[in-house]
Amino acid sequence: MNVSENAASWRVEHFGREREPVVVIDGFSGCIDRIEATGRQARYEPVQGYPGVRSAFDPNYFALQGELLGRLFAEHFGLEKRFSAESCALSMVSLHPEALSQQQRRPHYDGTRPNLLATVHFTQGPETGGTAFYRHRRTGFETVTPERADEYEAAVREDEREYGPLPPEYYYGDSERYELIGEVEARPDRLIAYRGRRLHSGVIPTAPDPATLRRSGRLTVNAFLIGEM
């Protein structure tokens, strides 16, 4: 299936002081009902670090808008128009807040490489949340680069010593540790892309319900893309 760029619309957000881009594409696939149906029937497994379950998904689906992605990645992330998928998976948040580790209760970054891009493709609407972006108050960092990684991790440990453990909940909003600097709400067939070094967290407005997870739980396609520099 081919999708015309004209069927999609896009914008670029620049949250915070560091002005890191977040690309937002609506109408990305043109077949989101089919993708969601596939996700509801897929076989899932727990994944270390992720607060839920995942099922491998064919990364070739990015070819639906490959030219558009390549152009946007070149223009806004300074990458070549060619990119490859490091991983691609259907994802469902399934952990009850009480089961979250301390790391899963705070914003995180996915990696420090400048050419690592994370994408989240939403299948449902704003009632399922979205993705939020943060500034770490102690350091002022909105991104974690290789040069910042040790300082950031040390500052997180200092947060823990000063403020104690985080409560059993999916993180959202402002606190003494992090400041919310922007968010993108979920919309069916909306894909967002941002550098993996950005501090971010999924917006999970309600605790996952095992009884309805398969039928209506928060379902996204998550991928890590490597752009050529």
E-only strand ranges, the chain: 9-15, 20-26, 45-46, 52-56, 83-93, 116-122, 130-136, 178-185, 190-195, 200-203, 219-227
Interval 150-178 mean pLDDT: 98
In this predicted structure, the answer to whether residue 182 has a pLDDT above a threshold of 70 is yes
**35-39, 63-67, 136-140: which range is least confident on average?**
63-67
Burial class (CB in 10 A: 0-12, 13-18, 19+), 212: exposed
Q: What is the pLDDT of residues 93-141, one digit of tens each?
A: 999 999 999 999 999 999 999 999 999 999 999 999 999 999 999 999 9
Region 62-83 average pLDDT: 92
Residue 3's pLDDT is: 52
- Name which of 35, 28, 23 is nearest 65 in CA terms: 28
More confident call, 4 vs 130: 130
Cα–Cα distance for residue pair 112/31, rounded to 1 Å: 33
pLDDT at 6: 64
Average pLDDT, the chain: 95
CB atoms inside a 10 Å sphere around CB 198: 25
CATH topology of domain 5-227: Jelly Rolls (2.60.120)
For residue 118, the number of C-alpha atoms closer than 13 Å in the C-beta half-sphere is: 21
User: Would you state the pLDDT for residue 112?
Assistant: 97
Q: How confident is the model at residue 1 (pLDDT cuts 50, 70, 90)?
A: very low
Residues 6+ apart with CB under 8 A from 172: 132, 180, 201, 203, 204
> Which pLDDT score is estimated for 4?
52
% of the chain with per-residue pLDDT over 70: 97
Residue 18 above 60 pLDDT? Answer: yes
Res. 58: pLDDT tops 50: yes
Q: What is the mean predicted confidence (pLDDT) over 47-73?
A: 95
- Picking from 127, 150, 125, the residue whose alpha carbon sits closest to that of residue 139 is 150
How far is the C-alpha of 207 from the C-alpha of 95, rounded, in Å?
Answer: 8
Cβ burial of 165 (10 Å; 0-12, 13-18, 19+) is exposed
d(CA 21, CA 76): 7
Q: What is the pLDDT of residue 81?
A: 77
Does the structure show a pLDDT above 50 at 71? yes
